[in-house]
Amino acid sequence: MRRVAQVITVRPELLDIYRELHRDVPEPVLDRLRRCHIANYSIHLLGDRLFAYFEYHGRDLEADLALMAADEATQEWWRLTAPCQTPVPEAAPGEWWATAEQLFLME
């Protein structure tokens, strides 16, 4: 299992919309996440930063993320959520959600 933590900025003027969208994530989007071997997925808010955490139980994260990106329901979901987000300055070129480095783990 691989742990993934990511960060992005939420546009303060769209925060209420972002919250509302996540009160009822479409089942096809959730199903795609599960079929891409993602579990224990959560998003947290601090100030204007969103912190996402998920556990990946597959063998090829990049391939599964490509399947997710090709999924029609997920694309529609991203069309709704993307305007609410802005990459953080620490994001690599072309990176939307910046991946955080794990420094500590207690199991």
Segments making up each domain of the chain, as ranges = 2-99
Structure-block tokens of residue 78: 């991203």
Max alpha carbon distance in the chain (Å)?
Answer: 39
Look at residue 47 in the predicted model and tell me its pLDDT: 96
The class that CATH gives domain 2-99 is alpha beta
| Mean per-residue pLDDT of the chain | 97
% of the chain surpassing 90 pLDDT: 99
Q: What is the pLDDT of residues 32-71, one digit of tens each?
A: 999 999 999 999 999 999 999 999 999 999 999 999 999 9
Look at residue 8 in the predicted model and tell me its pLDDT: 98
- Rg of the chain over CA atoms, in angstroms? 14
Look at residue 101 in the predicted model and tell me its pLDDT: 96
What distance in Å separates the CA atoms of residue 66 and residue 56, rounded to the nearest whole number? 14
**Does an H or E element contain 6, and which?**
strand 2-10
Look at residue 48 in the predicted model and tell me its pLDDT: 96
